Amino acid sequence: MGLFDKFKELTRKVSEVENNIYHEKRDYLEIYERNIELEREIAERTEELNDANKRMFTLQHIWDMMNSSTPLENVLEAIVNSTQGELGYMHCAIIRKCVDEEGEFLRIIAQSNDGLIDRLNNFIGSPGIQTRRLNYSHESVFADTMRQRTIIQTKSIDLSLSSVLPDLPQETVNKIISNQPVKSVIVVPLIAQKQEFGWFCVFTAREELASAEMDFLGLFAKQIEMAITIADLFQAVREQAVTDALTGLYNRRYFEEALEKEVQRAKRQKQPFSIIGIDLDYLKKINDTYGHTFGDLAIKTIADVLKSNARSVDVPARIGGEEFNVLLPGINSEGAMIAAERIRKSIEAVEIDTIGHITGSLGVATYFEHSEDVEELLELTDQAMYTSKRNGRNRVTIAEPVSETSWQEIAVNTFIDILSKNRIPKARHLSKELCLKLKAPANKDELSKDSLFTVADMLTKLYNPMHTSGSVKNKVLMAVTLAKRFDLPKEDIDNLKIAVLLYDIGNLMLPDELLQKTTPLTDEERDTIKNHPVIAAREILKPISYIQDVLPIIENHHENWDGSGYPNKISKDEIPLTSQIILILDQYFALIEPRPYRSKLSSKDALAIVKADAGKKWNDTLVKEFISLIEHDIV
């Protein structure tokens, strides 16, 4: 090979080496650049993961609060502060859409604690934005997000501010938005239980947000909606516990609790309070003429009148059926009479479709002036109300001092007589304890009526261990409400109350093995049990002179409307209505309580059985009124 060829070959080899070095260098550069890119991606993913962890931690914290008894406002405050602080936003707020007689408006119900809101308040002055009634414009970003049901990010902070504060001068708006770090606002619509609640607003220094962040804000909004829904459910349950389903007024339970607190306050401050009792006139006639739907409408009309006439401290309540009470703290009898007359006129002034005008009979009694015993005060209110009825209805009557022995005293004395003289051998071991409870309640403020109910429950459990404590009280309340539907006089209603406490006392004279038998009764055993009304009336109670008017009610409480009952086989109007009332209550409560030979029935199934016996055991009108009471859950 010549010199030239050698040189050429050497040049080729050098060129190959240079090419190899170049390609290897390029590969190294590519690897280096890929490593740098990978490190950047790792850093970004790590940051995203950290953000995700923060968000998940925040969501978990909120979820824990929602599953506790934390009030809604505290949950919402935690949400906005967590979002602002942990996720790096400039400011967060939850705005509610409200409506009143002036129209739609906005109200800030939660906002994060940061300097941005202080800066805004410095410009707009007092009151601050958080306490202002904010304008709701149908041309605003808020309206757009609600219409579209989507998240909107806007950079037009000036327009957003002007939409909620339209009276703010443009010069002030310009000052607010200048020299501040917020570049955009994200507005997230909140829809709770298919109702437009408001918006979750996030103020950020970023002009653009990643789709993942938008998704997260949507998820956050769902948590807010869930918190609102849970709070609404808790509120609904709480209200159901203290309000009457038909009218929305407070129920008997709440009224009694409020009355107990008011008694303590009156004693401490030496201030009177008054009670107004209201009874809708002619409800039975309305039901018979127009149907129970219109009867309910009349009841709700009185409730609306009471709501519109009540002060914020007053306690208007539906006590049962067509009967209402209003507790007036700090009001003497003169003021109560003025309030009662105003209520009476308001009821009379309302005209109801189809029915026309309705009226009410009212009674007034005042603590300290008429009685310092709360049970007696309620009794006096009731008596005054029924005086209004007897004197022509549609009037107000002030209470008068008790001039006769009350039904409670008669019942207490009857129980003490029965127990102290051992008229019931089965109760001998309890006699002393029960007598002491009736004579001197352990708590001096304990109502005498409650002592009566407790004693009646304890005696009932001696022959019926499955008896539900408290049902005696419910029976008395329901019996009185039914009796009032039929306009029975006060004397008959008082005798009925006593009879409800005593009607089954004859069972205490029957053998336990017979009452607790789980197999069918023989004819002889059935006849023995059928004798218990006679035992109660003629053997246990007859020797007690002052209770003779109650005996016919008890003796006839198993007589059927069609004459198939016992012990006297009388029928229809021969049977005292008070006895019929006890019979229907007795059967209903027996059906909804368990027995040795069967499980308890539901209220619906028990009512079906009661209804099936209309015209046989009871007259049709009584059945209709009874079913109406149960279905409206007035006790």
**CATH number of the structural domain spanning residue 200:** 3.30.450.40
For residue 99, what are the β-bridge partners? 104
Low-confidence residues in the chain, pLDDT < 70: 1-36, 38-39, 41-72, 85-87, 230-240, 402-405, 440-449, 632-635
The verdict on 604 and 472 lying in the same domain is yes
Tell me whether residue 201 is in a domain. yes
Tell me whether residue 596 is in a domain. yes
The verdict on 441 and 535 lying in the same domain is yes
Tell me whether residue 617 is in a domain. yes
- Tokens describing residue 252: 């008997």
The verdict on 267 and 368 lying in the same domain is yes
Let me know: does 124 contact 131? Beta carbons within 8 Å.
no
Quote the pLDDT of residue 423: 84
Tell me whether residue 43 is in a domain. no
DSSP class per residue in 96-110: EEEEETTEEEEEEEE
The verdict on 126 and 187 lying in the same domain is yes
Tell me whether residue 349 is in a domain. yes
Dihedral over Cα of 234, 240, 243, 249: its sign:
positive
Quote the pLDDT of residue 634: 45
The verdict on 610 and 532 lying in the same domain is yes
Domain count, the chain: 3
The verdict on 202 and 260 lying in the same domain is no
* CB count in 10 Å sphere of residue 118: 10
Quote the pLDDT of residue 437: 80
The verdict on 367 and 501 lying in the same domain is no
The verdict on 278 and 135 lying in the same domain is no
- Find the domain containing 110 and state its range: 89-214
Tell me whether residue 38 is in a domain. no
Quote the pLDDT of residue 114: 80
Quote the pLDDT of residue 62: 55
Q: CATH number of the domain that 627 lies in?
A: 1.10.3210.10
Q: Any residues with CB less than 8 A from the CB of 412 and at least 6 apart, and which? A: 438, 448, 451, 452
How many residues are recorded in the chain? 635
- Residue at token pair 């501010």: 161
Quote the pLDDT of residue 513: 80
Quote the pLDDT of residue 443: 46
The one-letter amino acid code at 486 reads: F
The verdict on 337 and 476 lying in the same domain is no
Domain boundary among 366, 398, 430: 398
The verdict on 574 and 504 lying in the same domain is yes
